[in-house]
């Protein structure tokens, strides 16, 4: 199954953005898109409303728990993609704690239940 990795491309990582400089969120998106494995679709989004916690990404797939992660940077792309691959292999989206990349264990901002399941 394909999972979607949403990446906030407008994120400034809590800093002013000098004119002409590429937003850190867009740089993160580009690094992820360039190396995304099969089964992981990297999708740009304009805002994940985690501005004070940027850069931010969200993982989602139909019928699975969704996650939002923050305080990320371009150098984290390999770990993010490892986490997305593990998520793709978890039928319900819940990757066992010890199998998650450290940044996913420590930098989770939110976990949302599958659509329609608020129990």
Q: What is the pLDDT along the chain (119 residues), one digit of tens a residue?
A: 789 999 999 988 777 788 888 899 999 999 999 999 999 999 999 999 988 888 999 999 999 999 999 999 999 999 999 999 999 999 999 999 999 999 999 999 999 999 766 55
Do the beta carbons of residue 42 and residue 31 sit within 8 Å? no
CA–CA gap between residue 91 and residue 47 (Å, rounded): 27
Do the beta carbons of residue 24 and residue 54 sit within 8 Å? yes
Q: Name every residue whose Cβ is closer than 8 Å to that of residue 82 and which is 6 or more positions away in sequence.
A: 101
């Amino acid at each position: 199954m394909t999972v979607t990795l949403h990446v906030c491309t407008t994120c400034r990582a809590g800093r002013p953005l000098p004119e002409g400089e590429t937003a850190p969120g867009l740089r993160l998106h580009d690094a992820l898109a360039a190396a995304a494995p099969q089964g992981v679709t990297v999708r740009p989004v304009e805002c994940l409303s985690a501005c004070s916690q940027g850069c931010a990404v969200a993982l989602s797939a139909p019928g699975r728990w969704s996650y939002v992660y923050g305080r990320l940077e371009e150098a984290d792309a390999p770990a993010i993609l490892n986490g997305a691959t593990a998520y793709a292999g978890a039928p319900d989206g819940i990757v066992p704690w010890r199998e998650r990349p450290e940044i996913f264990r420590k930098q989770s901002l939110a976990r949302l239940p599958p659509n329609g399941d608020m129990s």
